[in-house]
Amino acid sequence: MRTIGRIAGQCLLLLALNAAGTGIVRLLHWRVSGSMVGIVLTLILLGTGLLKLKHIEQGADWMLGTMLLFFIPSAVGIVQYGDLLMSDGWRLLAMIGLGTLVVMAGSGLLTDYMIRKRRGTEWEAEQHGSD
């Protein structure tokens, strides 16, 4: 029961960061998704150490694990747009494919960079520790 409460609290924290991003976008009249600003805000907080991974990890894992459930209504609702799919379906598929490739490449490059950075930091610590 304690784990469920922790996961719920972490999910609420992630939702609050998302809401903060949305608030920033509305306040500054930016033409970008509030959830993207929330993600950047989360990344900044994690990078600066103001937010620790342990404070959101289980909640994020749970949200990722149940994400497909949130797409079911969208997938079912697309049936209403048969005419649009027939006329511009190829454009939609091209954008989905391109977007997927960009996200995959960006995620891979960022992960590779973070791994190399961490290994470099560990290597430097080993070198300075052996002096």
| Helix, strand, coil % over all residues of the chain, rounded to 5 | 90, 0, 10
Mean pLDDT of the residues in the chain: 88
Region at 39 (left for phi over 0; alpha for psi -120 to 50; beta for the rest): alpha
Q: What is the pLDDT of residues 28-37, one digit of tens each?
A: 999 999 999 9
pLDDT (0 to 100) of residue 29: 94
Q: What is the pLDDT of residues 27-61, one digit of tens each?
A: 999 999 999 999 999 999 999 999 999 999 999 99
Instruction: Locate the domains of the chain by residue range.
Output: 1-67, 78-131
Separation of alpha carbons 3 and 11, rounded Å: 12
pLDDT (0 to 100) of residue 116: 86
Check whether 63 has a pLDDT greater than 60: yes
